[in-house]
Copies of this chain bind each other. A is one copy, B any other.
């Protein structure tokens, strides 16, 4: 079956995101170095994020609140207002950070759009995702923008339905095995995994859980048009 719709993930597929979290997390560790070592801080922070995920969802605002919560917790309530203000500002800096496209992004999306309908399916905070998309200058290349709160089978079924396309004509391109590959292959779609330089621990998947077929891996987006040509 030829692919009709090519869907791109946003964060860490089209533009850098996780590296900003990494930089912020390093500042968080420096700030709280007097209370815990980096390994413990990383563990406590991830535990807070996971605990809060069901009420905050994904995104920088929830991440910032989780940093403040973890800082109060690991310091036994002794963290100062000045330190909390540093964390608040770090969150704002992430939200204000210019959108930096990955290599070849504009070229590849333009190239694919000549032969396929291209859409954006991105997860996270509505307001921040819209801001990043606007700043990316890629908005007009997409036939449709889907900003979703979770990328699971239900979401992809709804997206494919709304697009009026059969699942086996839908191909998702993204850096997350958990969010861009597994649920898409599970509903009968296809996926291309383009790993990013760093993964958020929450998104990591055991390679043993990966499906045998229905997906491919590319080192970078540059190889996408060739792969699509091979798929027919």
How many copies make up the complex? 2
Please, how many residues of chain A have a CB less than 8 angstroms from a CB on the other chain? 36
CB atoms of A127 and B57 under 8 A apart: yes
Q: Does A65 sit within 8 A of B, measured CB to CB?
A: yes
Q: Using Cβ atoms and an 8 Å threshold, which residues of chain B touch A58? A: 127
A77 close to chain B: CB less than 8 A: yes
Q: Is the CB of B84 within 8 A of A68?
A: yes
A-B contact pairs, 23 of them (CB 8 A): A52-B92, A55-B92, A55-B95, A55-B96, A57-B126, A61-B61, A61-B62, A61-B65, A64-B65, A65-B88, A68-B68, A68-B88, A69-B88, A72-B84, A72-B85, A75-B81, A77-B81, A77-B82, A81-B81, A81-B84, A84-B84, A125-B127, A126-B149
Q: Which residues of A contact B (CB under 8 A)?
A: 52, 55-59, 61-62, 64-65, 68-69, 71-72, 75, 77-82, 84-85, 88, 91-92, 95-96, 125-128, 130, 147-149
Give 8 A-B pairs besides A71-B81, A80-B81 with Cβ atoms closer than 8 angstroms.
Answer: A65-B88, A68-B88, A69-B85, A72-B85, A77-B82, A81-B84, A126-B149, A130-B149
